[in-house]
Amino acid sequence: MEKSNGNKATQIFWSIVSFLRRCLFLVISVRPIPHHIAFIMDGNRRYAKKRKLKEGDGHRVGFLALMSMLKFCYELGVRYVTIYAFSIDNFKRDPEEVQSLMDLIQEKIEGLIKEESIVNRYGIKVHFIGNLKLLSEPVRLAAERAMEATANNSRGVLSICIAYTSTDEIVHAVQESCEEKSDEISVMNASGAGYGLLQLGGNEKEERENIVKLTDIEKHMYMTVAPDPDILIRTSGETRLSNFLLWQSAHCYLYSPSVLWPEIGFRHFTWAILSFQRSYFYLDRKRKQS
């Protein structure tokens, strides 16, 4: 009986906390709300050492922090969330650590498909962003299943950057753009129409320089599934982007709380939103000027 009463009291407490959080979000929503928040989840290993946890347990606690951040984002009405889950550079770590991380990632990806998962509760479509060919087959297949299972969700988008670096994304986009233009030129030449490089009155040099345009590259970026981020949050007090969304983050607000990723909480999230709102009109003006 006492245990049952204790559980009921706990449920009531968390219901009140959830209600108060939603009320605060309603107040915050009076001012501009970010459409897209990106996270660099820095500090999982340091947290494990600090708390004398087993290797890998820091990442498990970090996953709980991620679930909280996702819940806050979607409750506030943020439509797009992107997380930096695993860099291509991380493959250089100790093979045992890499395998342990891959096992954990596969476990958590498979959890996303479950009916009670946060992505299904909030109607979130999941995308895996990066050079997925570098992943092991079990992880890659799990990612494909998760994308297929959530394809019809439409209330929000979660982009998980795995086997990703921004430089790899840019090189991929340039290669795809060049190949696409090369195929177009071949088709035009085969039809006898040419590619318009020697149009009457045209400048051949200028036309050649503009064969591949900025828009061509942008449409081949991995991150075409989401607009550029409004806020980029990196924990541990670091202000480095670590090869993450370099192309997309020119005009976003960078927030770097000193806490390690597993320690991030509601107050850090709320402060990031308020700081963004204070800087919103300046950032918006710079974005329009570019």
For 176-236, strand residue ranges (E) read 231-234
Is residue 80 within 8 Å of residue 156, measured between CB atoms? Answer: yes
- Closest to 267 (Cα-Cα) out of 257, 277, 278: 257
Contacts of 272 (CB under 8 A, 6+ apart): 37, 231, 233, 253, 255, 257
- Helix 57-76 and helix 2-28, axial crossing angle in degrees, nearest 10: 50
Query: What is the rounded (10 degree) CA torsion for 71, 75, 81, 83?
Result: -20
Residue in 42, 57, 89, 284 annotated catalytic: 42
Q: Is 42 one of the annotated active-site residues of the chain?
A: yes
The residues pairing with 164 across neighbouring beta strands, listed in sequence order, are 87
Is residue 222 within 8 Å of residue 129, measured between CB atoms? Answer: yes
- Helix 57-76 and helix 266-289, axial crossing angle in degrees, nearest 10: 60
Q: How far apart are CA 143 and CA 141, in angstroms?
A: 5
The set of catalytic residues is 42
